[in-house]
Structure 1
Amino acid sequence: MRAVATAKASAFDPLVAETALRGLAAPRKTLPPHLLYDPEGCRLFEAITTLPEYYVTRTELALLRQVGPELRARIGRGASVVEYGAGSATKAALLLSALEAPAAYVPLDIAEGAVKASAREIRARFPAVAVHPQVCDFNRRIALPPLPAPLLGFFPGSTIGNLDTEAALAFLGAVRASLGQGARFLVGVDLPKSPAVLIPAYDDAAGVTAAFNLNLLHRLNREAAADFDLARFSHQAVWNVAESRIEMHLRSDTAQSVSVAGETIHFSAGESIHTENSYKRAPEAFQAMARETGWRPEAVWQDPQGLFSLHLLAA
């Protein structure tokens, strides 16, 4: 999961409608996770990050504080930080504070609101840092502005867990091509652990994650001319042990038909829409992926409970 902010949509969005229809017409209905992050989705995700069950954010923040001095020594003075999937600037600010005289910050995201929000906060907190916001699809190779070396890519929050192996390899390769030889890449990776810990993190007792997932149907009603009845759908979090991933689904509680952009979508009772994956990868598994895409694993840090890891890769 990741937090982003988008401009408030007020009318039909043909791209959202096209994306939704493509996924809902598939033999196994699915919707891309980026649709979860409209303004209300962003608000709900920020609430999720503070829940007692959701260990990811607080564990990663603690790790960043812990490894800050080592990162400062490894990266050197005057670094340019390129953040992939910029949303909340909290982690970027923590990283910039740890580095020695950082020179530049480049927030990247497909959501313009997320990029502007991160840029605004970093400019206010670090007036000496040059900020170059860029609205783009960060899963592709990106032409970065001229930046002072050394370059440090930053991909926190275990957002890479939203990508299956093929997509994660493509992403890692694209980042290496964009950052270039000599760059480093700091990546947050969630670790495999007991379902007793994982399931509550994605299906909390207060129902915030359920509201976050169901809000996707609200968005389709608003932006894709859909008529989902949210009372007839339920949030599901499933641990897929074979794939080492948490899956989020929206289950149709009854047989029903829904209109989306003028097209009728049929659901059988119990059929679900797969909305998000969160892969949990052991350090050796992630390092093997990094090597396959031309990165050299330089360091890995884990919290004492073995919940989360930070990887520093070198190009």
Structure 2
Amino acid sequence: MMPPERAAPPAADPAIDNWLDAGWSDRELRADVSVGLSSSPKELPPKWFYDDRGSELFDEITRLDEYYPTRREREILEREADAIAAAAGADCIAELGSGTSTKTRILLDAFAAAGQFRRYVPFDNSEATLRNAAGEVAAAYPDLAVQGVVGDFEHHLGHLPLDDADAPFGAPPRAPAMLVLLGGTIGNFSPARRPAFLDAVAGAMRTGDTFLLGTDLVKDVDRLVAAYDDAAGVTARFNLNVLSVLNRRLGADFDLDAFAHEAVFDADNEWIEMRLRSLRTQTVHIPALEMTVDFAAGERMRTEISAKFRPERVRSELGAAGLVVQRMWTDADGDYALTLARRVL
């Protein structure tokens, strides 16, 4: 799951570059719903889970006993942050999908302690969340240049300000930068989309830059499914909330009581698939799209995939993008991995 975190009040006002116009979110939502609900099988992208209520529910999910990924990633960061800083040798961190940058503080502390840190570049598609988080980081690290970027993964990674705009002409090349993608977010990309995304990441890097990637690993199926179908039903409410988003923003008339949450492990693709199953034959109207959508009883609509990885697959997919794995760290139980890869050409 993508893990945006709730924003805190701003404490400073760092520079923010916004590459998204005011209508971007509405256009993306309309396009995604129009295409997804016209497809067979029907699907919705997981990015629309995260309105205010969805973010609250996901925050609750991360504290559930069944949901191990957030704990495991933090465990690795707390244990290995100094080693990551030493291996990367970077003086700039650019975080993709930064949210409130809460877990990133562990890395920021380690890089600052190493005495090599000059710039933090959070990248997110929510300007309000990013502005608040960037302000908090700027206040906590007054000697650090913070330059936020509001953008879309698929279009704007080339706008990451990794170079020092104030460097004089003829100055020596900059030190390496490290791009970061935490939270297992890479697993929400389909296998068809991951290569283009990783190519874009590599394209934003220079030779010597590194990429720190968080991935959930393949493990016991019962544990995987439980993480997405908890006993308390929090994930079910989170999944159903996407229908509330469509009702509110597009005037749709989804009846949330007419759908049920499902989470299954697809062994062939090695991913968890979250779905909403129609409990009866029904018709949904979406006035903003002038669209009517029929659901058969028992019909399933996919709302998320969350791919699980094996170490060799991580190496292969990064390698195909020209990124060579330098180090890979896992938690004590081998549930989760952080991988540091370097662009060598």
- Sort the TM-score into its range (normalised by shorter chain): over 0.9
Distance 2:100 2:200 in 1: 23
Distance 2:62 2:224 in 1: 14
Match of 2:331 among 297, 303, 306: 303
Deviation per residue, 1:220-272 (Å, 9 max, x gap): 00001100000001111110011000001111111100001331100001112
Distance 1:158 1:256 in 2: 35
Distance 1:165 1:263 in 2: 29
Counterpart of 2:182 in structure 1 is 156
Distance 1:232 1:36 in 2: 18
Q: Does the 8 Å contact 2:4/2:98 carry over to 1?
A: yes
Q: Does the 8 Å contact 1:234/1:250 carry over to 2?
A: yes
Deviation per residue, 1:47-86 (Å, 9 max, x gap): 111111100001000101111121222233x611000111
Query: Which stretch shifts more, 95-104 or 115-124?
Result: 115-124
Residues 22-41 of structure 1 mapped to structure 2, 5 A cutoff:
22-41=35-54
Match of 1:290 among 315, 318, 323: 318
Matched, 1:220 2:233: no
Question: Judging changes above 3 Å, is the alpha-carbon distance between structure 1 residues 310 and 232 closer, same or farther for their aligned structure 2 residues?
Answer: same
Q: Does the 8 Å contact 1:5/1:39 carry over to 2?
A: no
Question: Judging changes above 3 Å, is the alpha-carbon distance between structure 1 residues 6 and 13 closer, same or farther for their aligned structure 2 residues?
Answer: farther
User: How far has the Cα of 1:127 moved from its partner?
Assistant: 1.8
Secondary structure of the 1:28 match is coil
Q: Does the 8 Å contact 1:254/1:268 carry over to 2?
A: yes
Question: Judging changes above 3 Å, is the alpha-carbon distance between structure 1 residues 296 and 15 closer, same or farther for their aligned structure 2 residues?
Answer: closer
Secondary structure of the 2:159 match is coil
Counterpart of 1:123 in structure 2 is 138
Matched, 1:134 2:152: no
Q: Does the 8 Å contact 2:2/2:188 carry over to 1?
A: no
Distance 1:264 1:299 in 2: 50
Residues 167-206 of structure 1 mapped to structure 2, 5 A cutoff:
167-206=193-232
Identity %: 39
User: How far has the Cα of 1:5 moved from its partner?
Assistant: 6.3
- Amino acid in structure 2 at the alignment position of 1:283: P
Q: Does the 8 Å contact 1:86/1:114 carry over to 2?
A: no
Q: Does the 8 Å contact 1:188/1:308 carry over to 2?
A: yes
Secondary structure of the 1:120 match is helix
Distance 2:278 2:28 in 1: 24
Q: Does the 8 Å contact 1:87/1:117 carry over to 2?
A: no
Counterpart of 1:83 in structure 2 is 95
Deviation per residue, 1:7-35 (Å, 9 max, x gap): 9xxxx945423321221011210111111
Secondary structure of the 2:129 match is helix
Counterpart of 2:19 in structure 1 is none
User: How far has the Cα of 1:114 moved from its partner?
Assistant: 2.9
Counterpart of 2:259 in structure 1 is 233
Counterpart of 1:271 in structure 2 is 299
Counterpart of 2:62 in structure 1 is 49
TM-score, normalised relative to structure 1: 0.94
Unaligned regions of 5+ residues in structure 2, if any? 8-24, 165-173
Matched, 1:258 2:270: no
Counterpart of 2:4 in structure 1 is 4
Query: Which stretch shifts more, 124-133 or 277-286?
Result: 124-133
User: How far has the Cα of 1:171 moved from its partner?
Assistant: 1.1
Unaligned regions of 5+ residues in structure 1, if any? none
Query: Which stretch shifts more, 267-276 or 87-96?
Result: 87-96
Secondary structure of the 1:166 match is coil
- Amino acid in structure 2 at the alignment position of 1:57: T
Please, what is the CA RMSD of the aligned residues? Answer: 1.9
